[in-house]
Amino acid sequence: MKARFYKRTFQFKFPAGTSRGILREKYAWFIELWNEDQPDTVGVGECSIIPGLSPDYTNDSEYEARLDELCASLDGSHLDSWPSIQFGWEMALLDLKSGGKQHFFDNEFRTGKRKLPINGLVWMGNETFMQQQVDEKIEAGFSTIKMKIGAIDLEAELSILDSIRRRFNAREITLRVDANGAFSPQEAPHVLQKLAELDIHSIEQPIQAGQWDAMKEICRSTPTPVALDEELIGIHDSEEKERLLDTIQPQFIILKPSLHGGIKGTQEWIKLAEERTIDWWITSALESNVGLNALCQLTAEYQNNLPQGLGTGSLYVDNLPSDLVVKNGHIYLEK
């Protein structure tokens, strides 16, 4: 088997605001695998990183040095601390096995028979821009909307959520929010109470990761269910995963294979969560359509009917061609 990689930059359609800053472009590296006797059959995997969040990315030179080493050794057994590369490597191996057809898993999503419910994502910006996105998502048929909060004035963000709730009750439109750790442990109870008054489904990562005792107390007393996201990053050991879940006891966990251990690591998180009756959903780490297809097929390995965070394929002006379709709040492969 042979391997190589290349880098690609994707351009956002609009400045995508988060509590960590504004994203205008997105980097990804693609691993290609092939066998010498079949050089035209190539397996492709995407290594997707988000600077400032991905635990395995500091700069291009260090990242590409690890990819060089992997492509030379073809040994993917020591990638625990490189989750985005782990996911790309696993993806490329599965794709090569399928004959380069992007058949990562054998399930009904891959054959076009299953549609996955997804949330519509509202990015941070000024109040007018955020309200415009909300209206577009509702018009497009989304029944679950996720809004990033914590960067502009909280009262303005609550006002947007209130405007949705005055038009649609919680049975008609499910509202999720993602704080990306924007609030302090002291601020969080007030925010969670305000969100509860608006029938918010859940809040992702209300406080910064690493404050287990504070997060445990928040999850114990919160009127708004809490979903852990960044909290899971960098934890690879099975016993440490169990300790985190048993200590904090969150209502949900959110899994991004590019951040949380690739396919193998994600499957272990799901197993441990389900043993503890903790619900979960999968979210992209802003992958292109190549990685997004693999994420959807992985998700479809489970009977999880919660809306997933897999609607990011329309973010880029130059995304890769795909048969993925988003319509009426669902994603599916058009066959």
By annotation, the residues acting in catalysis are 148, 256
Residue type, 205: Q
* C-alpha distances in Å from residue 249, one per residue of 66, 221, 279: 35, 11, 11
The single-letter code of the amino acid at 250 is P
Question: Phi-psi bin for 131: left (phi > 0), alpha (psi -120 to 50), beta?
Answer: alpha
Query: From CA 290, how far away is CA 22, in angstroms rounded?
Result: 24
**Which DSSP state fits 283?**
B
Residue 327 DSSP symbol: E
Angstrom distances, CA of residue 108 to CA of 8, 205, 223, 271: 30, 32, 37, 21
CA dihedral 303, 305, 224, 211 (to 10 degrees): 40
Q: Which two tokens stand for residue 181?
A: 């750790």
216-238 burial by CB neighbour count: b if 16+ within 10 A, else e? bebbeebebbbbbbbbbbbbbee
Q: Is the separation of the CB atoms in 54 and 26 below 8 Å? A: no
